[in-house]
Structure formats: structure tokens, C-alpha cells
């Protein structure tokens, strides 16, 4: 990878704000080029009414240059599950060996895309039965897949993405900066 990695964060109506904003912030602190992609529009409201202005609409986006796809959870995960283009994108990026990171209920999108078979993963507590190899850890990495449990694990999720994309020293530097 030449230069800093590029990450796309999908924002659907009803996304969990802590998971989206904390992850975006951590990635940007690491110097990762983060693009916010609004599914359904440029202005996207989270599950608690906080509105985010995305950099581009999903319909207009090309994901060829991205190294990582981030899927925040929350009630917005249902919109991702219903969107065949998102499910196909997840499958395509996985086939290309790109990093796919999903938190809270968003790992269900990875399940629908068929990329969690025989992978260690985590999901929002109480839904572990959906996974082939569930782990009771805040963040789980298996190959190019990063999963996390929910809003309270968002900082660790973001730091793990940084570690995978940029390296452990950068993740440790950010952890120190934010006093985590």
C-alpha cells in the first residue's frame, strides 16, 4: 500500500452514532483517509437524531480505491441488510482481500454476504448464535475481517482498525493521546 490507507464508512439512516463517529475520529487521528458514504442521501440521521453530512452518496461512490470498508451498526443495519448493492460490495471487497470492519449488528450484513462462514467473529451480545465461531471479546480479528460488539467497544474497534491498517505503534500512539 502506497501512502495512507483509504477507508469508506457507510452511514445508513439509523446508524449508531457512537460507533460511527468514534471510529471515524480514531481513523482520522491515525491519518487514514476516511470517506463518509451516505446510503440514501448526503445528510444521514443516526439512531438518536444526530445528523451527519457524508462526503458522497452510496449511489455515486466507486469503492475500487478503498482499503477498508466500515459498517456501523444500530437500527440502520436493517437498511444495509435490505440493500443488495451493499451486500454485493461486502462480498466483492472480501474477495479482493480488503479489510471489512463491522460493529454491533452490522456483522449480520457480513453473514448475509456469506463471508463469516468458519470465521471467528463477535456481534451485539445476545446474537452470538447467528455466528459459526462466536467469540465473547469486545473486538475480534480473523484474517481481513474485524468485528466488534457495540457502542461501548467503538474506541477499541477503531484502534484495532488502525492497528491492522497502519500498525500497532500508531494504534498505541492514538490510545495514549485519547487516554484509553
pLDDT tens digits, 73-110: 999 999 999 999 999 999 999 999 999 999 999 999 99
Question: Helices 17-29 and 168-177: crossing angle, nearest 10°?
Answer: 110
Phi, psi of 171 (to 5 degrees): -60, -40
Mean pLDDT of the chain: 97
- Share of residues in the chain with pLDDT > 70 (%): 99
- Domain 6-172 belongs in CATH node 3.30.365.10: no
Cβ-based neighbour number of residue 40 at 10 Å: 17
12 among known catalytic residues: no
Q: CB burial class (10 A; 0-12, 13-18, 19+) of residue 156?
A: buried
The pLDDT of residue 2 is 65
Check if the beta carbon of residue 145 is closer than 8 Å to that of residue 115.
Answer: yes
The pLDDT of residue 1 is 53
Task: Report pTM.
Answer: 0.97
Residue 69 has pLDDT above 70, yes or no: yes
- Share of residues in the chain with pLDDT > 90 (%): 97
Name the catalytic one among 30, 104, 162, 174.
104
Amino acid at each position: 500500500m502506497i501512502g495512507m490507507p483509504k477507508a469508506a464508512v457507510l452511514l445508513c439512516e439509523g446508524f449508531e452514532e457512537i460507533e460511527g463517529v468514534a471510529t471515524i475520529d480514531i481513523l482520522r487521528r491515525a491519518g487514514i483517509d476516511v470517506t463518509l458514504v451516505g446510503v440514501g442521501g448526503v445528510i444521514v440521521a443516526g439512531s438518536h437524531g444526530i445528523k451527519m453530512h457524508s462526503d458522497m452518496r452510496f449511489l455515486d461512490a466507486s469503492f475500487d480505491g478503498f482499503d477498508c470498508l466500515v459498517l456501523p451498526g444500530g437500527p440502520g443495519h436493517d437498511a444495509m441488510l435490505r440493500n443488495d448493492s451493499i451486500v454485493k460490495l461486502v462480498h466483492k471487497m472480501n474477495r479482493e482481500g480488503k479489510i471489512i470492519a463491522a460493529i454491533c449488528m452490522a456483522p449480520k450484513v457480513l453473514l448475509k454476504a456469506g463471508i463469516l462462514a468458519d470465521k471467528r467473529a463477535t456481534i451485539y451480545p445476545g446474537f452470538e448464535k447467528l455466528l459459526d465461531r462466536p467469540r465473547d471479546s469486545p473486538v475480534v480479528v480473523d484474517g481481513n475481517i474485524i468485528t466488534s460488539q457495540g457502542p461501548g467497544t467503538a474506541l477499541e474497534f477503531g484502534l484495532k482498525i488502525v492497528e491492522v491498517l497502519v500498525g500497532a505503534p500508531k494504534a498505541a500512539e492514538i490510545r495514549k493521546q485519547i487516554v484509553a
